[in-house]
Structure 1
Amino acid sequence: MKKILTPLLAAAAAGFTAPALADEAAVLNNVYHLQYALDTFYFLICGALVMWMAAGFAMLESGLVRSKSTVEILTKNVGMFAIACIMYLVCGYAIMYGGGVFLSGIDGGEGLVDEALSAFAERDGFDGDSVYSGASDFYFQVVFVATAVSIVSGAVAERMKLWPFFAFVVVMTGFIYPMEGAWTWNGDDVFGLYNLGDLGFSDFAGSGIVHMAGAAAALAGVILLGPRKGKYAADGSIHPIPGANLPLATLGTFILWMGWFGFNGGSVLKLGDIANANAVAMVFLNTNTAAAGGAIAALIVSRLLFGKADLTMLLNGALAGLVTITAEPSTPTPLLATLFGAAGGVLVVLSITFLDKLKIDDPVGAISVHGTCGILGLLLVPLTNSDSTFLGQIVGGLTIFVWVFGLSLIVWAILKAVFGIRISEEEEYEGADLTECGQEAYPEFVSK
């Protein structure tokens, strides 16, 4: 085979060398247009994977709630995804990154290619920044905001009114999330007081910016909602309320696990050169092994604490590992990534049981998975990323939490005072499916 390929490669080199030397500008033009196309395509594919996480959240949540609340939780998931897309288009993206989108559209990005070509022609070299369509950037960003708000729906499941929830989604995706995103990923000063980047804050793909933010908004809602009826007895005992469809919850977890490769991998922002291609591969590897570490650790801890292999803890352990590694999946070794994920798996089991003791009712464990482990992920970043500092991570995490929790609490309180946010006790007994949507998810299994 080598004897056959060598002459062919030599002939190809001889055929292309002369034209390349004669028309360097044309070759460079082709190279950068190819890079532009590749990076844009990569962004779009990763965005599609993150969008697929919406299906994962829908399946996970509908599997972990009771059958009488399935239709409502599915309606929330589809509705909030659509609302997030519209609100981020109308104003969210402009708040977070500046510039219009809804009325003026987005620059196609051709100017970036021209700028890169000019720099290379002047022998300054290309600086290696990402070159991709502005529309692909918007698409990738909008599925992130949809992910953040998806965290809220599971935590408030089975006792919240549908339309006040949608009203909160409008504010969360159109203003609350974009503001904290501007302070972090866009590098804006926080109310003109300090810049998180200058303090050494780093959050690669959003353990804090996306996941902890969603958990903070969920926590505010859960506090004002109160627990489901029958969850906690007067004597302080806890009555578990099992989900209706654990196979569906398992499917949802695997969908989220798969979608996370787009979530973390796409955050490299580039694929069109050797260094970034290797970075993408490492991010994929570390993302996967962190999830595995989290799942195994949660399984072991649940066996030690409860005497049984708890499937729900196993599922949340995998997600906890994913959230933990999201803050920095590019710099740890695979061994460290596994250990970081395992730390998340241990923490999520302890956090879920602790919040239950505080009578904070979270049907799917979203606050623990995305909030507690989001904080852990931020604090682990300086261990492998020398550009970050513990002070920066703490200040950044506190900034995100105080902003999102504080504003969310205000919005939830207004909605509670004006419209009411909780269905009645009778409606909760009958199930949110009938009272809020007029449908049943499993009508053939309901006795009349």
Structure 2
Amino acid sequence: MKKKIGAIVLVGSILSTSTLAAPATAESVQLSLDTMWVMIAAILVFFMHAGFAMVESGFTRAKNTLNILMKNLLTISIGSILYFLVGYAIMFGRSNGFIGTSGFALNGVEDIGFFLFQAVFAATCATIISGAVAERMKLSSYLILTILMTGAIYPVVGHWVWGGGWISELGFVDFAGSTVVHLTGAVGAFITVLFLGSRVGKYDGKRVNAIPGHNIPIGALGVFILWFGWFGFNGGSSLAADPTLVPTVISTTLLSASGGVISSALYTKIRFKRIDPSITLNGALGGLVGITAGTANVSLIGAIVIGLVAGVILAEGIRLIDVVLRVDDPVGAIAVHGICGIWGTLAVGLFDSVHGVFYGGGFQMLAVQAIGVGAVITWTSLAVGATVFIMKSAGSIRVSREEELAGLDYAEHGSNAYEFKEALVSSSSSQTENTNGDLVERLNQLGASMKKQRARKSV
């Protein structure tokens, strides 16, 4: 009897709930699916920051790991709040062709999901700078630059391209951000490094010294995480759970990244007589950056070609920046996001399946893409250059030589990411002792020296 009463109550509650609930329509179901897909994509893009942290820390020295982790953690946190307060409004507010003028602090904005997706993009742009300036830039200076990037510099570029600004009116195509996100971040990194200078010991006269990263396996894991997150980065830019578009976008993303890996591996094998692991890992990222602009506009074959070309120009780009221009970029971020970002944006003008040069569309689209690239490089260079110049005029943006040698973990945070243990050496091997020594003792001595310097300054 109790079971029957319970069943009647359950059925009655279901019927009453169904009566009160609004009837589901095809439009409401589609809206729910679209929103859910964009939210999943936003989460994937957020997870990419773990990949950036691993790539940057793995490709640099152990003594700077904590500093890199803090930069990445603070970037996403500061960037999200600033984008909420001002960045979104500048990027997607009412347009006058150059800047948005409404929606500050999301006032009057109804689509919170779209804001969330764009917010994690904004932080990604700023994070690109983190790797290029690793191991010698003051944390406070980096954070000031992050504030300007996420609050103003990047949103202006985004407005020009995605917010109804003047570049978009020309017909410029950047589906997910080869220029808006990646090139903007890379140009900011390049200009900052020009002011910052190279790491101690990187260049010795005409000689270029390699400074190996301390944990390439962690860097490789970071690359795989970034690759995984990129499916949301590009796929979510559809802004809808489109059963035709999303699979195509994710497929071109996969194929271009694969092409970047293969070509960078083969190219380094031919050029250097061995497959270079760090360049090959960056080859995946180069292929991903390269396809991001045209991922919805090119064929699957076109995506493979774009990735293959990206892997080669990445390898030569790293050499150009490191050896020829002598710009010290510890993780290759400028080549990955800048050179491959330019290539990916211009490649749309070549491989677009309707208007591309290779499909009989003429050179008009390619010219528009080139104009967009030039405009973004000019704006970002001027804005970041002015920002860093002012910061450098007000005070040094770089840690002292002693702090750099000790490592930014100790200098900026008073701690280390790893527990360094004393090496067991033979007392008769004085040369080995002088070479290796007790790292902890050397760090403590440098730390004591820095404390004395600070004490003198305070007096």
TM-score with structure 2 setting the length? 0.82
Q: Which has the larger radius of gyration?
A: 2
Structure 1 residue 180 displacement after superposition = 1.1
Equivalent residue for 2:123?
Answer: 146
CA distance in 2, matches of 1:259, 1:432: 29
* Aligned with residue 333 of structure 1, among 280, 299, 303: 299
Equivalent residue for 2:453?
Answer: none
1:417 aligns with 2:401: no
CA distance in 2, matches of 1:349, 1:277: 36
Offset from partner CA, 1:22-81 (integer Å, 9 cap, x none): xxxx87x61111111111111100000000110000000000010011110111000111
Structure 1 residue 341 displacement after superposition = 0.5
Structure 1 residue 200 displacement after superposition = 2.5
Question: Matched residue of 1:363: which SS?
Answer: coil
Structure 1 residue 443 displacement after superposition = 2.0
Structure 1 residue 406 displacement after superposition = 1.1
Structure 1 residue 301 displacement after superposition = 1.0
Question: Matched residue of 1:102: which SS?
Answer: helix
Equivalent residue for 1:137?
Answer: 114
Equivalent residue for 1:42?
Answer: 37
Equivalent residue for 1:231?
Answer: 202
Structure 1 residue 444 displacement after superposition = 3.4
Contact 1:158 1:228 in 2 (8 A): yes
1:281 aligns with 2:258: no
1:441 aligns with 2:417: yes
Question: Matched residue of 2:244: which SS?
Answer: helix
Q: Within 5 Å, give how 1:9-158 maps onto structure 2.
A: 30-98=25-93, 99-102=102-105, 104=107, 106-107=109-110, 134-158=111-135
Higher relative contact order (CA 8 A, sep 6+): 1
CA distance in 2, matches of 1:101, 1:33: 28
Structure 1 residue 102 displacement after superposition = 2.0
CA distance in 1, matches of 2:182, 2:208: 27
Offset from partner CA, 1:201-221 (integer Å, 9 cap, x none): 110100001000000000010
Offset from partner CA, 1:220-260 (integer Å, 9 cap, x none): 100000111111111x1111000000010000000000000
Question: Matched residue of 1:227: which SS?
Answer: coil
CA distance in 1, matches of 2:140, 2:155: 22
CA distance in 1, matches of 2:35, 2:348: 28
CA distance in 2, matches of 1:167, 1:101: 21
Offset from partner CA, 1:307-347 (integer Å, 9 cap, x none): 22111001100000000000111232222211111100000
The gaps in structure 2 that reach 5 residues or longer are 1-21, 94-101, 356-363, 422-438, 442-459
Structure 1 residue 101 displacement after superposition = 5.0
How many residues get paired? 385
Offset from partner CA, 1:117-150 (integer Å, 9 cap, x none): xxxxxxxxxxxxxxxxx11100000011111011
Question: Matched residue of 1:197: which SS?
Answer: helix
Contact 1:164 1:419 in 2 (8 A): no
Contact 1:200 1:391 in 2 (8 A): no
1:265 aligns with 2:218: no
Contact 2:84 2:106 in 1 (8 A): no
Give the counterpart letter for 2:176 in structure 1: A
Equivalent residue for 2:310?
Answer: 344
Contact 1:199 1:389 in 2 (8 A): no
* Aligned with residue 161 of structure 2, among 184, 201, 220: 184
Structure 1 residue 277 displacement after superposition = 1.2
Give the counterpart letter for 1:200 in structure 2: G
CA distance in 2, matches of 1:306, 1:422: 34
Q: Structure 1 residues 260-269 or 415-424, which shifts more?
A: 415-424
CA distance in 1, matches of 2:316, 2:382: 25
CA distance in 2, matches of 1:67, 1:384: 42
Q: Within 5 Å, give how 1:289-300 maps onto structure 2.
A: 289-300=255-266
CA distance in 1, matches of 2:303, 2:82: 35
Equivalent residue for 2:188?
Answer: 217
Equivalent residue for 1:314?
Answer: 280
Give the counterpart letter for 1:83 in structure 2: I
Contact 2:157 2:180 in 1 (8 A): yes
Give the counterpart letter for 2:156 in structure 1: M
Offset from partner CA, 1:149-189 (integer Å, 9 cap, x none): 1100000000100001101111110001111111110122x
**Cα distance, 1:103–1:136 mapped onto 2, change above 3 Å:** closer
Offset from partner CA, 1:281-314 (integer Å, 9 cap, x none): 0111110111011011111111122222111001
Aligned identity (percent) is: 43
Contact 1:433 1:439 in 2 (8 A): yes
Equivalent residue for 2:430?
Answer: none
Contact 1:87 1:170 in 2 (8 A): yes
Q: Within 5 Å, give how 1:389-408 maps onto structure 2.
A: 389-408=365-384
Question: Matched residue of 1:252: which SS?
Answer: helix
TM-score with structure 1 setting the length? 0.84
Contact 2:289 2:340 in 1 (8 A): yes
Contact 1:211 1:371 in 2 (8 A): yes
Question: Matched residue of 2:326: which SS?
Answer: coil
Equivalent residue for 1:359?
Answer: 326
Question: Matched residue of 1:443: which SS?
Answer: coil
Question: Matched residue of 1:389: which SS?
Answer: helix
The gaps in structure 1 that reach 5 residues or longer are 1-25, 108-133, 189-194
1:240 aligns with 2:217: no
CA distance in 2, matches of 1:371, 1:297: 18
Equivalent residue for 1:6?
Answer: none
Equivalent residue for 2:290?
Answer: 324
Offset from partner CA, 1:2-28 (integer Å, 9 cap, x none): xxxxxxxxxxxxxxxxxxxxxxxx87x
Equivalent residue for 1:162?
Answer: 139
